């Protein structure tokens, strides 16, 4: 199969961070039941969102626990928790002391103007960036302890659809499924079903270099969803989507939240954030301005719309006046 050849040839150079598969260094990619971690080879059985060794012990986030313990984690333990996240680049502080907690069924909308630290926060949550200070925990364990196990639980849609243009959409999804250790017996049927639902089935064998931006975005969405992860992180997922696809995604996020999934949703589309998010995190200059339930933030500031609430908190400019000044500048002779 072409995708297996591709994976075998590029197993040492694949940018795993781009798809957040989390393949450990040195792992033989086609054999997804063999995992190598820090130079130690361990036979694993890929379970439902967790990994178990040959003796049935779980290896989530570096802790050895039984299957029963892994399936019955205490309900008070947050699914995702950020504690004092800070990221510095030399003298520049991009994010400072960002903290929040997400439990099952919650959808947290992250808002902020350009340069507010949203993308940096997302990269720390996914493990692509290590914080200068603070930590990110998944079910009580630091994600840096075992990032491979953490990424098995994670579905991530990045802001930019950086895909392999010479692969077809179906081949790319097959590669993602192999790297995530999905059931190879049912993987083809699952891929085809999702391609059909996302209106991509007719183009499944075309190379992604011929795809529109919206088609590439839908491929990323399928890749994030296909392994049924507990945690989903969406960074501007509506980018390039048409009206129908955007409406489907909006209803999908609601449905996933109702089924107990945990979702971190980063977007500039305030209308959608207001409709689908149970909680809000508003950033400016890397600092948390507000963090609470959506209705609490909205009602507390007594603004009629979320856009007005956002502008009141974040932007200290008269946007209507600036728009008028732009029109005047255009018309000036």
Is residue 302 domain-resident? yes
Residue 188 lies in a domain: yes
Does residue 131 lie in a domain region? no
For residue 6, is it within any domain? no
Please count the structural domains in the chain: 1
- Tell me how far apart the alpha carbons of residues 2 and 10 are, in angstroms, rounded to a whole number: 12
* CA–CA distance, 268 with 261 (Å, rounded to integer): 22
326 three-state secondary structure:
helix
**Angstrom distance (rounded) from CA 114 to CA 285:** 9
Note the pLDDT of residue 312: 54
Tell me how far apart the alpha carbons of residues 109 and 271 are, in angstroms, rounded to a whole number: 11
Torsion angle in degrees (nearest 10) through CA of 17, 180, 62, 146? 0
Tell me what pLDDT residue 6 has: 43
Provide CB contacts within 8 A for 2, sequence distance 6+: 171
Residue 150 maps to a domain: yes
CA dihedral 146, 151, 152, 154 (to 10 degrees): 140
Is 128 part of a structural domain of the chain?
A: no
Residue 16's pLDDT is 38
Helical pair 169-179 and 187-197, crossing angle rounded to 10 deg: 130
Confidence at residue 7, expressed as pLDDT on a 0 to 100 scale = 45
Q: What is the pLDDT of residue 323?
A: 80
165 domain residue, yes or no = yes
**pTM of the entire structure?**
0.73
C-alpha 36, offset from chain centre: 25
Report how far residue 58's alpha carbon sits from residue 45's, in angstroms, rounded to the nearest whole number.
10
Report if residue 1 sits inside a domain: no
Q: Which domain holds residue 194?
A: 102-122+142-313
* CATH number, domain containing residue 247: 3.40.50.300
Of 301, 319, 310, nearest in space to 283 by CA: 310
Strand partners, 136: 82
Per-residue pLDDT at 322: 77
- Tell me, what's the pLDDT at 54? 36
Burial label, 176 (beta-carbon count in 10 A; 0-12, 13-18, 19+): buried
pLDDT of residue 184: 93
Contacts of 142 by beta carbon, 8 Å cutoff, 6+ apart: 61, 135, 136
CA distances from 330 to 7, 117, 139, 323, 327 (A): 53, 33, 54, 11, 5
Q: Mean pLDDT by 10-residue block, N- to C-terminus, for the chain (333 residues)? A: 46 39 39 34 33 39 40 64 94 93 94 88 94 94 92 91 92 95 94 95 95 94 95 92 91 93 89 88 90 80 57 61 77 76
């Amino acid at each position: 199969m072409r995708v297996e050849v591709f994976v075998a040839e590029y197993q040492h150079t694949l940018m795993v961070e781009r798809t957040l598969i989390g393949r450990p260094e040195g792992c033989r990619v086609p054999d997804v039941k063999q995992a190598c971690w820090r130079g130690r080879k361990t036979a694993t059985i890929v379970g439902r969102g967790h990994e178990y060794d040959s003796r049935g012990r779980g290896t989530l986030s570096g802790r050895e626990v039984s299957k029963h313990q892994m399936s019955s984690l205490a309900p008070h333990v947050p699914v995702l928790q950020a504690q004092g996240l800070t990221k510095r680049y030399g003298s520049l502080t991009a994010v400072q002391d960002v903290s929040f907690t997400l439990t099952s069924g919650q959808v947290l909308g992250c808002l902020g103007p350009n340069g507010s630290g949203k993308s940096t926060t997302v990269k720390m949550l996914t493990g692509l960036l290590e914080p200068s200070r603070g930590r990110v925990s998944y079910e009580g364990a630091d994600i840096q302890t075992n990032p491979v196990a953490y990424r098995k639980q994670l579905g991530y849609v990045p802001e930019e659809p950086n895909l392999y243009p010479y692969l077809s959409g179906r081949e790319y999804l097959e590669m993602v499924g192999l790297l995530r250790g999905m059931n190879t017996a049912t993987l083809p049927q699952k891929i085809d079903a999702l391609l059909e639902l996302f209106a991509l089935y007719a183009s499944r064998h075309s190379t992604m270099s011929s795809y529109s931006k919206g088609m590439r975005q839908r491929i990323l969405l399928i890749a994030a969803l296909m392994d049924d992860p507990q945690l989903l992180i969406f960074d501007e997922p509506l980018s390039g989507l048409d009206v129908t696809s955007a409406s489907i995604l909006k209803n999908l996020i609601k449905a996933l939240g109702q089924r107990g999934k945990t979702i971190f949703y980063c977007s500039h589309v305030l209308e959608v954030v207001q409709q689908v998010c149970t909680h809000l995190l508003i950033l400016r200059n890397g600092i948390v301005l507000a963090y609470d339930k959506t209705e609490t933030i909205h009602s507390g500031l007594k603004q009629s719309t979320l856009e007005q609430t956002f502008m009141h908190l974040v932007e200290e400019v008269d946007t209507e006046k600036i728009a008028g000044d732009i029109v005047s500048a255009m018309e000036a002779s």
